[in-house]
Amino acid sequence: METHEQTVVADVMTTPLETIKPDTDLVDAAKAMRAKEIGALLVTTAPPSIVTSTDVLDAVARERDTSRLDVADVMTESVETVPPGLSLNETAAMMETFRIDHLPVVKDDYVGMVSSTDVTAHLSGERSL
């Protein structure tokens, strides 16, 4: 059994990477995340951005009319990324430092998404063995 020091992003990331266009209705983005049971979508902008379930929830909490919003209205631009070979410990530290829950995974191109839930589940599972 490999230890979490040896476990890398590629071992726990979600693939394939789900993407969405910035001009997509926010409600449609929320439906896509719900249907795929994921918490974030990579937005096809240059540089790439991300829209998360938290972004949708924030829009609702601010009483914005989500039926009139596009992904571009709430997305986070120019997101941090990680390579697939980065250790989970380093990934967890990065997420904590930047206070983020999702990181697109890049190896020449975007290949997946890693979430804080993925990292926590893996690290806590190893500790309980």
> Hey, where are the domains in the chain?
9-127
Which residues, including other chains, have CB under 8 Å from residue 70's CB and lie 6 or more apart? Answer: 22, 23, 24, 25, 26
The DSSP call for residue 45 is -
Q: What is the CATH number of domain 9-127?
A: 3.10.580.10
Q: CA-CA distance, 79 to 91, in Å (whole number)?
A: 14
- Paired tokens of 62: 């601010």
Tell me what pLDDT residue 114 has. Answer: 96
**What pLDDT sits at residue 2?**
47
Backbone dihedral angles phi then psi of residue 41, each to the nearest 5 degrees? -130, 140
10-residue mean pLDDT series, the chain (129 residues): 70 94 97 95 92 96 95 94 95 94 93 93 67
On whether the pTM is more than 0.75, the answer is: yes
